[in-house]
Structure 1
């Protein structure tokens, strides 16, 4: 059985490890990170050329099932995967880590997009901890606030005029996030609802400091695509089709 995992996340790596070597696994990475952590099994890097290109790749490589384990905000590849698997008649499953849940003491402001998040900053504070990833920085380029921008790789898009760039990769610790917020005198946190434990400590640190948090809501899984929230569930789905 040949399974294609659309990956780039910790869950995708864990799933590849669960399935390999008993199942032939190919993990596809977008290639946006300079030094990605590689999963078990075969790895391909780069795009497919849209849904038509992905459908053709599935046929050429005799793929029996596809698991979309991309980042919860990788909306385009999820849409392409839904179209491609429907065209190639290959079953598709979405693996999505659970989103974050408010706790007592949280001061969250929901935003439907990065642009809306940028618009909510007025009046919340003039020193912003921005953890939305390098690809979305252009939405904040015209803001007057000072930003601490944390990213895995250096951005190649417009950035806020007043900012400091911090290149770092999770998982992060609560003590580390507390120290970062205090040292940079952060007044507001902006983040995407990526879920998971690796980057969640910033939310606890913001809660302790009494900071407002602007949370960008994640896009939904494409209509008609079944979804699970754990690698064990995804592995069971694959084994049921073996």
Structure 2
């Protein structure tokens, strides 16, 4: 499993140079939820370089240096953007949804750019704040809609399970689906937690939002893989039993006795 992880992370760094497999975009999605720890790699390196006796939170958190954590943190979003464009280019037909998926990751890069611009301007209530809120709202609507309609395939009209779909695998925990629907929206709205002037420090807020995002991604994985499995069964790429290659006419079968 370690070699599998190393190999697929290496493939992630060369996104666009090869065809995209399920493991490629699934692993890429995991990294898009790790923007906080990835962006903090810069602060870790900076803290050791300046020394812990010089208050690294002050020395390494200067606005002029925030371009580096922005670039590092958004690398997974850029990789997924490139993968989506590559899938669109490799597809033969009906591939516009890959471009729409690419737009989702582009909106993520835009959101983090507006966030860092707002922080650079002092986290005030000026023009940067307006663009930050607009980018945050766009990102939430875009990603949440994609989560529900594409990644999870829920909110089907007239479904056997209301607001879900006709087929679900976790029959013993149906309420968990509805909890996931609500919590996914709430955690996606985590950027609103940055807006209040008072309260916890930005460092604590970003840490709490990052922890919540990891939880959201964990539950996202269950329903994303479930949807992939059901899709494979529908297309006979995975099945419980093979369909007959001929039409079985029960009326023509000989009767017993």
TM-score of Structure 1 vs Structure 2, range by shorter chain: under 0.3
Give the TM-score, by structure 1 length. Answer: 0.25
Higher strand share: 1
State the TM-score, normalized to the length of structure 2: 0.24
Instruction: Considering Cα pairs closer than 8 Å and 6+ residues apart, tell me whether 1 or 2 has the greater RCO.
Output: 1
Q: Rg larger in 1 or in 2?
A: 2
